[in-house]
Amino acid sequence: MSIAYRWFLGYDLLEKISHFATVSYAFCNRFPPELSEEIFEHILNKALNHRMIDPTVVFVGGPQIKASATKKKRQKEQVAKTAKLYAAQLRSEVNAEREAMGEKPFDDDDDGDPPETVARATSTTAPESGVFSKGAHKTEFA
């Protein structure tokens, strides 16, 4: 074990350090199930009270859930490229703020052309799903 690690945890040089799984074992087998949730909520509230996190935007990650759709029932459709769409939205928000502050808005770099489009496969049975690739050869709607 590193001396710095021992110092950080408050252990002496010759003191025995607990096995790394001791805490997780205790949470799984000895403590009530709701304790870990209470600890998480306590830490989250501390972070919110000290303005360490901004709750206005939340990003959630998770596994793709397989859709109840067959790959055979799909159609191609043209959709706007999202980068262009988001750039236009961002530009309008920035210009609105600049006008509110009494500053001149930025010039549009677009020449009025409609946003670029890209072909996308959509399921006819589950249109809210998208094509998801698993590995090099397997694709499915998820």
Per-residue pLDDT of 1-10, as tens digits, reads 578 878 888 8
| pTM > 0.75 | no
Return the structure tokens found at 71: 């790959």
What single DSSP character describes residue 110? -
Return the structure tokens found at 12: 């002496």
Candidates 87, 68, 81; CA nearest to 127 is 68
Mean pLDDT of residues grouped by 10 in the chain (142 residues)?
79 84 83 88 92 79 76 78 70 88 78 69 80 77 81
pLDDT at 50: 92
Candidates 129, 123, 95; CA nearest to 110 is 95
